[in-house]
Structure 1
Amino acid sequence: MFTDEKWSSSKNWFIAAVFWIIIGMTMGLLTATKQIWPELLNNRWFTYGHVRSAHVMLVIYAWLSMAYVGSMFYMIPKLAKTKVYSEKLGNFALVFYNIVILEGFFALLLGQTEVIEYGEFPLWVDVQLLVAIGLVAYNLFKTVGRRQEKMLYVSLWYFLGSLLWLPLTWIVGNFPAQWIPSGVQQGLMGWFLGHNAIGLWMTTVGVGQIYYLLPKLTGRPLYSHQLSMIGFWAIATFYVWNGPHHLMNGPIPGWISKAGVIPSIVLLIPVWAVLANFWGTMKGSWSQTRTSVPLRFTVAGTIFYLFACLQGPLQASISKFSH
Structure 2
Amino acid sequence: MAETLHGRFTGIDLDELVDRRVVLTWLYWGMFWLIVTPSVGVALSGLFNYPDYLGTNNLGLTFGRLRPVHVNGVIFGAFSTLFIGECYYLVPRLCGVRVVWGEWGVALAWVWSLALIAGLISLPFGYNHGLEAGELPLFAEIPLMLVVAAATAQFIATIAQRLEPALYVALWYLIAAFIWTTMNFILGSFILPYTISGINSAAFHGLYIHYIVGLWITPAGYVLIYYFLPLSVQNPLYAHKLSLVGFWSLALFYPFVGIHHYLYSPIADWAETLAIVTSMLLIIPVWTVLVNFFGTVKGRWDGFGKNLPAKFLITGSLMYLLGCFQGSVEALRSIQQPTHFSDFVISHSHLTVFGTFVIWAMGGLIYLWPRLWGRELWSFTLGNWSFWLITVGISTMGLVLTAAGLQQGFEWMNGTEWVDTVVRMKAYWLVRTLSGISMDIGMSLLVINLMMTALTRPGEAREPMPRPGAAPVRAGGPAE
Q: TM-score range by the shorter chain?
A: over 0.9
Higher mean C-alpha deviation, range 36-45 or range 144-153: 36-45
1:58 aligns with one of 58, 73, 93:
73
Amino acid at match of 1:309: C
**Matching residue of 1:81:** 96
Q: Which amino acid aligns with 1:118?
A: A
Normalized against structure 2, the TM-score is what? 0.64
Structure 1 counterpart of 2:231, from 212, 216, 229 = 216
Structure 1: stretches of 5+ with no match in the other structure: none
Partner of 2:336: 319
Distance 2:81 2:131 in 1: 21
- Whichever residue aligns with residue 16 of structure 1, its letter is W
Count of residues in Structure 1 that have an aligned counterpart in Structure 2: 320
8 Å contact 1:25–1:55 — kept in the other structure? yes
The structure 1 residue matched to 2:54, chosen from 37, 40, 63, is 40
SS in 2 for 1:179: helix
Matched residue, 1:91? 106
Residue identity opposite 2:34 in structure 1: I
Structure 2: segments with no counterpart, 5+ residues: 1-16, 346-480
Q: Deviations over 1:173-204 (max 9, x none)?
A: 33222334533111111111111211111111
Distance 2:87 2:65 in 1: 31
Deviations 1:117-161 (A, max 9, x none): 111112342222211211111121122122123220000111111
Give 1:149's aligned residue: 164
Structure 2 counterpart of 1:126, from 134, 141, 155 = 141
Shift of 1:67: 0.6
Aligned to 1:49: 64
CA distance in 1 between counterparts of 2:205 and 2:78 reads: 22
Q: CA deviation at 1:39?
A: 5.0
Answer yes or no: is 1:247 the counterpart of 2:262. Answer: yes
Distance in 1 (CA, whole Å) between partners of 2:251 and 2:304 is: 31
Name whichever of 33-42 and 123-132 sits farther off: 33-42
Choose which of 158, 167, 181 in structure 1 pairs with 2:173: 158
Contact kept? 1:174, 1:190, Cα under 8 Å: no
Q: Distance in 2 between matches of 1:22 and 1:291?
A: 25
- Residues 304-315 of structure 1 aligned to structure 2 (within 5 Å): 304-315=319-330
Measure, in 1, the Cα distance between the counterparts of 2:209 and 2:248: 21
CA distance in 1, matches of 2:230, 2:39: 36
Stretch moving more, 56-65 or 313-322: 313-322
Deviation at 1:300, TM superposition (A): 0.6
Question: Counterpart amino acid of 1:204?
Answer: P
| Structure 1 range deviating more: 153-162 or 143-152 | 143-152
CA–CA separation in structure 2 for the residues paired with 1:127 and 1:116? 16
- Residue 263 of structure 1 is matched in structure 2 by 278
- Counterpart contact for 1:90–1:139, Cα < 8 Å: no
Q: Match for 1:28 among 25, 38, 41?
A: 41
**TM value normalised by structure 1:** 0.93
Q: Which residue does 2:312 correspond to in 1?
A: 297
Paired residues of 1:112 and 1:122 also in contact (CA < 8 A)? yes
Query: Contact 1:116–1:191 (CA<8 Å) still a contact in 2?
Result: no
Confirm or deny: 8 A CA contact 2:259 2:272 kept in the other structure. Answer: yes
Q: Is the 8 A contact 1:100 1:128 kept in 2?
A: yes
The SS at the match of 2:61 is coil
Query: Matches of 1:15 and 1:234 in 2, distance apart?
Result: 34
Structure 2 distance, partners of 1:310, 1:32, is 25
Paired with 1:254 and 1:5, the residues of 2 have a C-alpha distance of 51
Name which of structure 1's ranges 6-15 and 237-246 shifts more when overlaid on structure 2: 6-15
CA contact (8 A) 2:127 2:136 kept: yes
1:206 match: 221
Cα deviation, residue 17, structure 1:
0.9
